Structure formats: structure tokens, C-alpha cells
Amino acid sequence: MLRLDDLQVFVRTAEVGSLSAAARLLDISPAVASAGLKRLEQQLQARLFARSTRSLRLTAEGEAFLVHARQALQSLEAGRQQLAGSKSTISGPLQLSVPSDFGRNTLLPWLDTFMHNHSQVQLRLLLGDRVTDLFREPVDIALRYGEPEDSSLVALPVAACNRRVLCAAPAYLQAHGEPWQISELREHNCLIYMLGGRAYERWRFHTADGEHSLQVAGDRLSDDADVVRRWALAGAGVVYKSWLDVAGDVQAGRLKILLPHVLGEPTPLNLICAHREQLSKPVHLLREFVQARCTELLAQAPWDR
């Protein structure tokens, strides 16, 4: 493997035309510089300089390799600066649109921690379940479930393994019983929310026999997913929600997982923006921060037990 210090010797020597001068610039002895250059030529199996007692000039192979050596050193320096910059203070506005339920009940305390760690950031938080919010509102990024229908949008995964789970409040189950098969959901009051502008009333599941879908019905529908979650907590019916939305309620005993042997529909969480230029340093840090906490919740998901 080529050594970084050998590449530096080669590039500096080519630039100043003298091995001893390059050694002085690099603060090493001429002998060390000479050894590094010889080691590089041996590894490349090519002669990089034509030497004489009075001159030193690049060979054709040396001229060709110099371009790549410079690019390699520049790339490494850019990486070093990026790492150094990532440790510095970030500041400025951060405009974020998130789903109503996930935003209010899961993300909000995470954002408090993020803002405490980065006190120079000014957060503008918009709650909504429509992807079109990304275009109607002046936001930098949006967190959304599922892949965007608009292929021109940039989507970066945050919680790729997330799924929906079927659950209900203990009070509802005490009054109406617990379903033990997918088909029994027809006998229950299913709480429905809007998804992509349409009522999400065909629920899909995966079992050992393959994919199953069921048309469900209930006496309540809302375009706000948080409202549907609150109905479920109040014991109004059965809900089919993202694990990230209800994990806290399940862990606290406010909701109970139903049909635990059935795998819910995939519902990945993605960070979405209109252009990659919007992926600023605060955006990247926020994505990494949220991704880490989603990973912690997903480690407790019922399908991984």
C-alpha cells in the first residue's frame, strides 16, 4: 500500500525540482526523503524521476502519476477538513417538516436534546402528513414515511426497517376481545387515517403464507394521524400505525400489540429534500442524530424479538 508521506515527498520534489529542497519543506532529512521516493518507485514499479548529479526531472511515468498523487493528497486534505469542521459549532436556521404523530410524540423530545447540543441552531418545525407540504412551505427538509412519489426528490434513509404494527388499548380489548387472526379484524372498529390524500383502509400484512390484505372499516377517520393515535389510546378501536409512532405507548402499556406473529407492512422513514444543495451540515447532523434514536427504538420492535 502506498504511504502518504511518500506521496508528499514525490509531489513536493516535483514542485520544487529538488529532493533536498522538498525534504526541507517537509521537515525531514534528505536521506529519509530519498528512501521514501525509492520506496514509492519500487511499489509502482516505475521510475518517476530521471536523475543526474546536477538535475532532477520527471519522467513520462512521473508526469502521469503526479496528477493522481496530487488528487489523492487533495482528497485526503478535504476529508481532514470536513472531519475538523464536523466537530465545530453549527449555526443557522433549520426548517423541518415532519409527520404530525411522529413529530409530536416521538421526535419532539429528541429535538430538545439536539437543540441543547447545538444551541446556535434556530429550528422551524412544521407538522403535517402531506408530502406536498415540502413544496407549499419554505422548509429545508422533511421526514416522511415511505418512498416519495415524485422521483425528482432526494430521499435518504433514516429508519429503513420500520414497519406498521397492529395495536389497541387494554380498555378496548377488555370490552371487545382480542383478534387472533387477520380476518377477525372485520369484526372490530378500525381507526382510519388519510395517507397520500386517501383513506388508508386496506391493511396489508405478511405471514409465512405470503402477503395478505384486508379491507377494514370503522366509525372514525381523520387526516391527522396523531388524532387517530389519540382515539386508540382512548379505547375507541384498533389502529395500524408505524412502530416509531406507538413504541412509547406500547412500552408504557397504553397500547398492546395484536397478532404479534404477523409481520406488518414496511413503512421506512426517509429524509426528503428537493435538492442535494439543501443537505447542509445541520441537516446531516440532524439526520444522524434522529437515525441513531430510531435505531434504538427499532431494536425493541416486536418483529425482532
SS (H, E, C) the chain: CCCHHHHHHHHHHHHHCCHHHHHHHHCCCHHHHHHHHHHHHHHHCCCCEEECCCCEEECHHHHHHHHHHHHHHHHHHHHHHHHHHHCCCCCEEEEEEECHHHHHHHHHHHHHHHHHHCCCEEEEEEECCCCCHHHHCCCCEEEEECCCCCCCCEEEEEECCCEEEEEECHHHHHHHCCCCCHHHHHHCCECEEEECCEECCEEEEEECCEEEEEECCCCCEECCHHHHHHHHHCCCCEEEEEHHHHHHHHHCCCCEECCCCCEECECCEEEEECCHHHCCHHHHHHHHHHHHHHHHHHCCCHHHC
The architecture (CATH level 2) of 164-264 comes to 3-Layer(aba) Sandwich (3.40)
Show me where the domains of the chain are located.
4-84, 92-161+269-299, 164-264
pTM: 0.68
The architecture (CATH level 2) of 92-161+269-299 comes to 3-Layer(aba) Sandwich (3.40)
Instruction: Please tell me the distance from the alpha carbon of residue 305 to that of residue 195, in angstroms, as a whole number.
Output: 29
Within 8 A by CB and 6+ apart from 187, the residues are 179
User: What pLDDT does 119 receive?
Assistant: 84
Q: What is the pLDDT of residues 130-144, one digit of tens each?
A: 655 455 556 678 898
Q: Do domains 92-161+269-299 and 164-264 have the same CATH topology?
A: yes
User: What pLDDT does 81 receive?
Assistant: 61
| Residue 127 pLDDT greater than 90, yes or no | no
Cβ atoms 187, 291 nearer than 8 A: no
Instruction: Please tell me the distance from the alpha carbon of residue 305 to that of residue 222, in angstroms, as a whole number.
Output: 32
How many CB atoms lie under 10 A from the CB of residue 18?
Answer: 15
User: What pLDDT does 273 receive?
Assistant: 80
* C-alpha cell read off for 16: 520544487
Q: What is the pLDDT of residues 145-182, one digit of tens each?
A: 887 776 677 888 999 999 999 999 999 999 999 999 99
User: What pLDDT does 134 receive?
Assistant: 55
Q: What is the CATH number of domain 4-84?
A: 1.10.10.10
